[in-house]
Structure 1
C-alpha cells in the first residue's frame, strides 16, 4: 500500500486523522509539542508538524474513502499525479519525532517574496534565485547571475 498526502481544512489535521482511523484507514498526522503564550500563562500544546496535511496509507482503489471525513479537502498532487510518500520517509519522520532530537521551535514554511533560494534540480541546478512573486500556482524567481526570470509551478 502507498502513502498519499491529503490536504485538510484549516485546523482539522488531528480531527481528520482521528475520523479516518475510525473508518479503518491507516493515517499519520505528525505532531510536535509547542509552548504557547496565553494572556496569563504558558501552556504546552500538540500541534501538527505540517499545516493542512496528513498522510494516509491505502490501496489505490480505496482512495475515495478519505472523503467520508468532512475535514478532508483533496489529495495533494505532484507533477499531475497523486503525491506518494515512501515508507522510509514516513519512518524517518516518526523516528525523528520520537528521538526527542527536535528543535524547540519547529516550523515548516512556504517561500516568501524576497527569500533567496538555492536550486538543486532542473536545468538551473546549483544556481541561487530570489523569489520575486508568488501566485496560487507559480513562483516567479529571478536568477540574477544569469539575468533570467523563471516562472516555476508550485
Structure 2
C-alpha cells in the first residue's frame, strides 16, 4: 500500500478504552497513535508518574478509505469523528505537533476552543457558509453570531462545530 494515500483520522472510543483500542489496532497492524500525557499522581503513600490519554475517548489512525470498516470492527471503537458529514481528516503536521509537544512537555492539558464575545468567526457550513460574523454569546452547545451584510444585523444561532475563528 502506498503510504501517500493513507490519511490520519480521529476515532471515538468507549470511555477509558483509549489504550486498549490502541493496542487492538496495533494487533491488527493498523497504524495508530494514542497521545499519552505524563502526569504525576498521588497515591496515599507515594507519587507515581502515569501515562494518561491526552484526548479522552480519542485515538488517531492512519488508514486508506477502504480500511475504515476494518477500524470500525475493532473492539472499543465507537466510530470515526465526523466533520461536515465525512470522517474528519487530521493533517500530518498536526499529528507531528502533538508528538513533539508531548515529547517536550509533561502534564499537558487539552481543552476545546471556546468562542469569546466580540471574536470574529467564519461560518463553515449551511446557507451562510463562508460568511464572517462576530460572536455575541457562547454557551455549551450554541454560539450566537451577528452577521453584518447589506447594512443589517442578522443573528443566527450556530453550533460551535459550524464556525471557526478568523
Specify the TM-score bucket, using the shorter chain as the normaliser: 0.7 to 0.9
The Cα offsets for residues 6-65 of structure 1, whole Å up to 9 and x where unpaired, read as 000111111101110000000001111011233443322101111111110111111111
Residue 121 of structure 1 aligns to a residue whose secondary structure is: strand
Residue 110 of structure 2 aligns with which residue? 108
Decide whether aligned partners of structure 1 residues 42 and 147 sit closer, same or farther in structure 2, where only a CA change above 3 A counts.
farther
CA drift at 1:93: 1.5
Q: Aligned partners of 1:53 and 1:27: how far apart in 2?
A: 11
Aligned pairs (5 A) from 1:3-152: 3-98=8-103, 100=104, 102=105, 104-110=106-112, 116=116, 118-122=119-123, 123-125=131-133, 127-134=134-141, 139-141=142-144, 148=155, 150-152=157-159
Residue 24 of structure 1 aligns to a residue whose secondary structure is: coil
* Backbone CA RMSD of aligned residues: 2.6
Q: Aligned partners of 1:38 and 1:124: how far apart in 2?
A: 50
- Rg: which structure is higher? 2
Residue correspondences, number: 143
> Under a length normalisation based on structure 2, what TM-score does the superposition of the two structures give?
0.73
Residue 55 of structure 1 aligns to a residue whose secondary structure is: strand
Decide whether aligned partners of structure 1 residues 77 and 141 sit closer, same or farther in structure 2, where only a CA change above 3 A counts.
same
Gaps of 5+ in 1: none
> Under a length normalisation based on structure 1, what TM-score does the superposition of the two structures give?
0.77
Residue 70 of structure 1 aligns to a residue whose secondary structure is: coil
Q: Aligned partners of 2:113 and 2:100: how far apart in 1?
A: 26
Gaps of 5+ in 2: 1-5, 124-130, 147-152, 162-166
Residue 116 of structure 1 aligns to a residue whose secondary structure is: coil
